[in-house]
Structure 1
Amino acid sequence: MTPDQTKTAEKMTSVKAAWDKAPSGPKKDAALKHYRAAETAHKAKNDAETNKELDAASHALA
């Protein structure tokens, strides 16, 4: 893995942990939608899209 890929993987772990701790509700539902999109982009090795979706998921949980 390149350093950027490692950073993206760590960010995914961090966002997933925040999502797990979040209370149920519309914010958590919106974040899940973005997290799933990030997973899809990550599988396609599209780091830019992955990070964009992870940022959106974090913002939805805020």
Structure 2
Amino acid sequence: MTPEQTQTAEKMKSVKAAWDKAPSGPKKDAALRHYQAAEKAHTANNEAETNKELNAASEKLS
């Protein structure tokens, strides 16, 4: 794993933990959609898209 991939994997864990703690509602639902898109991009080894979706998920949760 490259340093970028390791950093992205850590970011995914962080966003998932924040999502798990978030109260139910439309923001959590929107964040889940972005997180799922990030997972899909991560599987496709698209680091840029993964980070974009993780940032969007984090924004929805804040």
TM-score bracket relative to the smaller structure? over 0.9
**Per-residue deviation at 1:42?**
0.1
TM-score by length of 1: 0.99
**Aligned pairs, how many?**
62
Query: Once superposed, which parts of structure 1, at least 4 consecutive aligned residues long, lie more than 2 Å away?
Result: none
Match of 1:29 in 2: 29
Q: Which amino acid aligns with 2:12?
A: M
Q: Gapped runs of 5+ residues in structure 2?
A: none
Q: What is the root-mean-square deviation in Å for CA atoms of aligned residues?
A: 0.2
Scaled by the length of structure 2, what TM-score is found? Answer: 0.99
Alpha-carbon distance in structure 2 between the residues aligned to 1:27 and 1:61:
6
Residues 23-55 of structure 1: CA distance to partner in whole angstroms, max 9, x if unpaired?
A: 000000000000000000000000000000000
Stretches of structure 1 lacking an aligned partner (at least 5 in a row): none
2:43 alignment counterpart: 43
